[in-house]
A and B are shown apart, each in its own frame.
Chain A
Amino acid sequence: MVFWILVAGLVAAVTLAITRPLMRPSSAATDSAGPDIAVYKDQLKEIDSDEARGTLAPAEADSARTEIGRRILRVSQDHPKAGKPARDPERNRFVVPVSIATAIALPIASLGLYLTYGAPGMPAQPLSERLAQASDANKPNDLVAKVEERLRDHPEDGTGWDVIAPVYYAMGRYADAATAYQNAIRLIGESPKRLQGFANARIHIENGVVPEDARKALERIIVLAPDHSIEPRIWLALAKEQDGRVSDAAADYRKLIAEAPADAPWRKVIEERLANIGFRIGSPPAGDGNQGAAGNAGPASTSASPPPAANPEAAAVMAMNPEERQAFIARMVDSLAARLKSDGNDAAGWVKLIRAYQVLGRRDDAIKALTDARANLKGNQDGLAEVEHLARQLGLGS
């Protein structure tokens, strides 16, 4: 209620302030040359003083005076009615409707807009009030302060550190959490929980990068409690990936997926990471992306497929384990062969197929494909030349 009274007061005050000039009778001149002339008169005075001071030669002062005089003259001509109020009969026609429109539109439009965009009636929720509402037992800050005080007096109280560490972590004070876990480990020994907490805090501090000390802690967990080893293993695989040992990381990820129960919540995350590094495995060995790939393919196939890095399918292939990949490629090659059998006039397709056979070590199939290509591309001189070029390159003979 107080809110609406304040709103009403504000709107009324503002509306009144704005429309007040419209209510008053018109008084002074509206179109006076006064301000202009004041400026020019001042400029004249300035010239007088400059001349008196000796910074302006008399001849120059005179010409400057003439110049300013001309300005004054022009301004006076522009305002023939200077000094007299401009009584324009037209003006009354507008003043009244404008005042009324303002007085109506301002309150209605402001309220309308506010009710659309605002959250009327929603109270403020300052933190102090919210904390006061929560019961004392739930005040984490007080508890923390108590434990902190105790730890200041008894810094060798390992249990105290062990209690406060996860609280720090939950509060987002990761550096304190890491120190607390470290103290707890030092004082009351290693446990998978403490080591994991320490590692998590350190990883948080480094914005997701697994630092050396966290890696060591994770490795200890695997030694201490092999049955708690899933989370540490995930992090360690990630650490390998971050170190640039991408294929090692991929192997670890694959192993984790293979062991994972189908409904494991982290399974999807790892699969994503694996797919992600597929991209990276795909491009770096080929050199600098495009350039390297084109270099490998040789001059003959400038029209051939895009480099593997640019192709998401290639990334997916890279993410598979060797057997899967083999099977996938074989499937691809077979479907290409089948397509070319039905539509043989596709030089790029033949080039791809011959190359694929060659890479897979199926030389006989490659030679057979070459023969088929020659037969199919009879009418296509360019295509034929491309295939012949490849044949020479691969040493498939004629």
Chain B
Amino acid sequence: MIVEFGHFALILALLVAVAQVVIPAIGAHLKDERMMRVADPAAVSQLFLIAIAFFALTHAYVTSDFSVLNVAENSHSTKPLIYKLAGVWGNHEGSMLLWVLILALFGAAVALFGNNLPLTLKARVLSVQASIAVAFLLFSLLTSNPFTRLDPAPPDGRGLNPILQDPALAFHPPFLYMGYVGFSIAFSFAIAALIEGRIDAAWARWVRPWTLAAWMFLTIGIAMGSWWAYYELGWGGWWFWDPVENASFMPWLAGTALLHSALVMEKREALKIWTVLLAILTFSLSLMGTFIVRSGVLTSVHSFAVDPARGVFILAILVLFTGGGLALFALRSKDMQAGGLFQPISREGSLVLNNLLLVTGAATVLVGTLYPMALEGLTGEKISVGPPFFNMTFGPLMIPLLVALPIGPMLAWKRGDFAGAMQRLAFAFGAALVALVAVFAAEYRGPWLAPFGIALGVYVMAGAIVEWANRVKFGSAKSDEIIRRARNLPRSAYGTLLAHFGIGMLVVGIVATSAYREEHIQAMKPGEQITVNGYDVTFVGLERARGPNYVEDIADFNVKRGGETVARLTPSKRLYDAPPQTTTESGILAAWRGDLYLVIGDPQPNGGYAVRAYFNPLVRFIWLGALIMFIGGGISLSDRRLRVGAPSRSRQPIAVPAE
């Protein structure tokens, strides 16, 4: 009964979404307050109904109800509970349900927390948001219904792809979707503003928290995906320029650009038209990502043609919203007034540069992702555009961005003082130079470009600190004065500090681990030893054990450093029962200076085992940097200024230090 109730709730959610599109839109047009107010309860009901549906499907997974086709195809009775839960979104139908759930979550959040918005704008935003929901709910119900039943039920399910049975992977889709789908709010705001024909500084401030929230979750979602790839795929790599990764990376780049251009718009009312366009494009890239991942074009352009219903449907959604958004943009943008003027060397100018580079970067990734698919579709030829392409195109684009990153915040609005900014960054340049010399001294055998890359990362990190130090007058004021200033600094300033610092860490981690990675692949018999970057690794032996739904060959390695045992690593190879597939579980010894990473391979004819051992220097910096960026986003989000205008909240005047 619960399953059927969930199905009904999903259908009702579709109808509520239709009402949410139509009634508030008419209301906003007629300036009728009552009709506009329908948007709020509709958005909340929609969330409630989709949550019921989601709960019903989850319940079916937990109780292994194989009379539900989706459960039978993707679950198995012996699977551990957390993977039964994660299995809900570990498949096409379930993940689309999660997609609409999060879409509704954002809609309801605007309805509940958007009290500071003008009524017409809010009604229009929710109306546009609901139109996206209608499209995806229809997609879900018509082409990928998670509640299709089977009678009689099969004795057991087919199981979840073992490679997905892993905590990080199981729980990163919700974060990733929060990011992807979160940009729908920016899109809805853009469309609503275009319909209203009024875009100004206030609009930029209202849209910022939503963009920021989406950006945060996308950042952490991508980082979790990369972390999973690192320890589960067994190659020690953390990013593969795989189309699925690119699908989430493109909206991230565009979203980062949007975050910065909205800043200019908020302060100076400049870049208005560009910001709106960017909001439309960011969500279009999210939709494109959904299309790439969900339509089947990924496995092959031809598998898309085999089962066209889903692919064509998503393509239609993509065309409708991107095309519709851009058409409206073309129609309305000429009516918009250009905003404030500024010199090239200014905060605005630096943010324009940031936007240009980020958007070009996103375009590069787009070409690298779509070109092979287009080629296969047109000529049938299969090529793979691998890391070399992206390293040669995307990499160089990011260098000027990183060089400019610490300079931008040092420049004043309108007209900046470049020489002054350089002077104030002296500390950052010094730190970079020290890093450069230190890395050259330690790794004098090359590669030659890597020390410059690390120095660049250090420069970005130091630049973030310098900017903060400048604002609290570190060095020129007394210590209690500094503390007071630091306390009074708006939270968004700390958000910027952390996010920029995190980027610097990320760069250091990426360069260090790509350039100085150590790799050993060899056959080892029990008792044999290899040395990896100062660690003496001894292969003790191999044992077979049974897990909840797999058989596991666990290798035992004793890791010594300077004669003392520091760890025992147990990489293993698992063979799952259903479906019978093998996965590798790596053994990782994490440390600040880098990870020791062991993978056990196939038995060799002479009785040994193929062992791959890596040392990935500073690899933790990559995810730590992303985590710091996520935290920075969160702190910035808590800035009280983003809630200005909310009638229900009392505002406290900020304490300004007396001078």
- Which residues of A are in contact with B by a Cβ distance under 8 Å? 2-3, 6-7, 10-11, 14, 17-22, 24, 26-28, 30-36, 38-40, 42-43, 45-46, 48-49, 52-55, 60, 63-64, 67, 71, 74-75, 78, 85-86, 88, 90-91, 94-95, 98, 102, 105-106, 109-110, 113-114, 117-128, 130, 171-176, 204-205, 207
Contacts and interface: CB of A to CB of B under 8 A. Distances in A.
A40 B52 CA distance: 41
B32 A123 contact: no
Contacts of A109: 15
Nearest to A41: B644
B38 A22 contact: yes
B33 interface: yes
A78 B198 contact: yes
B354 interface: no
A95 B63 contact: no
Nearest to A128: B63
B8 A91 contact: no
Interface of B: 1-5, 7-9, 11-12, 14-16, 19, 23, 26, 30-38, 40-42, 44-45, 48-49, 52, 60, 63-67, 77, 116-120, 141, 145, 147, 149, 151, 153, 156, 198, 200-202, 205-206, 268-269, 340, 412-414, 471, 473, 485, 488, 546, 551, 575, 577-578, 580-581, 641, 644-645, 653-654, 656-659
Contact of B63 (A21, A94, A124): A124
**Chain A interface, DSSP helix/strand/loop, else mixed:** helix
B645 A38 contact: yes
Contacts of A14: 12, 16, 45, 48-49
A67 B36 CA distance: 32
Contact of B31 (A30, A42, A127): A30
Given A3-B5, A18-B19, A106-B12, A117 B145 contact: yes
B64 A32 contact: no
Nearest to B48: A14
A126 B64 contact: yes
Given A11-B12, A18-B42, A42-B641, A205 B575 contact: yes
A40 B67 contact: no
A35 B35 contact: no
B645 A35 contact: yes
Contacts of A78: 198
A290 to B, nearest CB: 13
B656 A49 contact: yes
Contacts of A94: 26, 30, 32, 35
Contacts of A67: 268-269, 340
Contacts of B37: 21, 24
A36 B485 contact: no
B231 to A, nearest CB: 23
Nearest to B41: A17
Given A26-B34, A36-B200, A109-B15, A18 B45 contact: yes
A176 B118 CA distance: 65
A66 to B, nearest CB: 11
Contact of A53 (B9, B34, B145, B485): B485
Most buried by A among B35, B156, B471, B658: B35
8 closest A-B pairs (Cβ-Cβ)? A126-B63, A38-B645, A127-B64, A21-B37, A91-B32, A125-B67, A175-B551, A39-B202
A117 B11 contact: yes
Contacts of B340: 67
A10 B9 contact: yes
A42 B577 CA distance: 62
A210 B133 CA distance: 50
B245 to A, nearest CB: 26
A71 B33 contact: no
Given A21-B41, A52-B659, A88 B1 contact: no
A386 to B, nearest CB: 30
A24 B34 CA distance: 7
Given A3-B5, A60-B414, A172-B578, A71 B269 contact: yes
A10 B41 contact: no
28 contacts: A7-B8, A10-B52, A14-B12, A14-B48, A14-B49, A18-B16, A26-B32, A30-B31, A36-B202, A49-B488, A53-B485, A55-B471, A60-B412, A60-B413, A78-B198, A86-B33, A91-B30, A106-B16, A110-B12, A117-B141, A122-B67, A122-B149, A122-B151, A124-B63, A125-B153, A126-B63, A175-B551, A175-B577
